[in-house]
Copies of this chain bind each other. A is one copy, B any other.
Amino acid sequence: MSKKNAFYAQSGGVTSVINATACGLIETARQHKDKIGKVYAGRNGIIGALTEDLIDTSKESTRSIAALRHTPSGAFGSCRYKLKNPEEDRTQYERLIDVFKAHNIGYFFYNGGGDSQDTSHKVSQLSKAMGYPIQCIGIPKTVDNDLPITDCCPGFGSVAKYVAVSIREAGFDVASMAKTSTKVFVMEVMGRHAGWIAAAGGLAAENEGDAPHIILFPEVPFRKTAFIKRVKECVKKYGYCAIVVSEGAAYKDGTFLADAGGVDAFGHKQLGGVAPVVAQMIKDATGYKYHWAVADYLQRAARHIASKTDVDQAYAVGKAAVEFALQGKTAIMPTIARVSNDPYKWKIGQASLVRVANVEKMMPASYITKDGFGITKRCRTYLSPLIKGEDYPPYKNGLPQYVKLKNVPVRKKLNTDFNI
């Protein structure tokens, strides 16, 4: 049993390119059949490993695996499920090792954000301690762009592109309606803790007067007076005002703007997001007619407008994960290392999982303009290459052709249930 199988799982919120990582990983593993057996995927992430619900990716055709590169979402299912701290409860880790042993799994590839890197790290430590060492490679993925060491996170670039393109397009729309109708447009984007995604909207504003005119970041305490003043200035100067607001925008005391509204007739907290709150606030203060949009999942699922840079990087970290494993490495994560800005060049680097786990990379203060409503040139230099290039999926009948895998289960070998 010298040739070990591999386990791969997708974790947390999915992205439009996490399957490109799966594609890179599986295609590369298939090129090394002499060293790696089968790639088993966890159905619904790590839950698949805990419940011994494994998917045999060898049953998928070459063509289907290739199509993962242009298919958004998590093809094997993802989950929001955090393993307990092993100092409190080792049961889950013991179960993982049992399942890995039963299926001759020697490689653990975990594709996710900060929590997932922490899990990979713990699995690597415990498996060794428990006498069944496994090579653990964390693979970066998060639209939040908040993993440390890596220059950027696969998944982010495509959301960034979606947001920049969308606010540019909506800006053009509002500009043409402003004379007699809508003067203010508010677009809500993801990012509860960090403003990376909101900042990306700023890329659309290449020239004076371009949308967006205002960005509301989670990093900048919301000041209503200054905000309304700026909105009025924009309408006066440009005829309209286009705003990108992060779902995490908050007052100085930490109250989210989204939570600062009222309750509905049933006593529920207001249903909506932050966009309608901001829009209504402007209406009350100025009387301007408004429209608002909440992109929600559309932004992170929008494979149709993915960034080529992002797709390439997502594929590359999947490929690198297998190559690192074949080199005998463990407890590391492939990273994106920026070589140069102009022309943009990058290469694969590596980070020790212990240095990645539980560290959140915040947006530098130097990326936000002094007034708190825009991005600096430095921010633009950082963000701009990440949205570069288009990588359109194939279309049929006007619709993108995304693959649904067969996801054939691996026959169970353990006769024990495990409660998750």
Contact = CB atoms under 8 A, between A and B. Distances in A.
Interface of A: 10, 13-14, 16, 44, 47, 71-81, 161, 164-166, 168-170, 172-182, 185, 187, 203-204, 206, 261-266, 268, 270-273, 275-277, 279-280, 284, 291-298, 300-305, 307, 309, 384, 386-390, 392, 395, 397-400, 402
Given A73-B173, A203-B399, A80 B181 contact: yes
A240 to B, nearest CB: 11
User: In the complex this chain forms, how many copies of it are found?
Assistant: 2
A1 B71 CA distance: 60
A265 to B, nearest CB: 3
Contacts of A72: 169, 172-173
Contact of A181 (B79, B268, B277, B397): B79
A328 to B, nearest CB: 32
Contacts of A305: 304-305
Contacts of A300: 173
Contacts of A295: 293, 295, 298
A295 to B, nearest CB: 6
A16 B280 CA distance: 27
A207 to B, nearest CB: 9
B270 A176 contact: no
A169 B388 CA distance: 21
A156 to B, nearest CB: 13
13 contacts: A44-B179, A72-B172, A79-B177, A161-B398, A169-B297, A170-B298, A172-B402, A203-B398, A262-B266, A262-B268, A268-B280, A272-B276, A392-B392
Contact of A177 (B78, B165, B292, B389): B78
A22 to B, nearest CB: 11
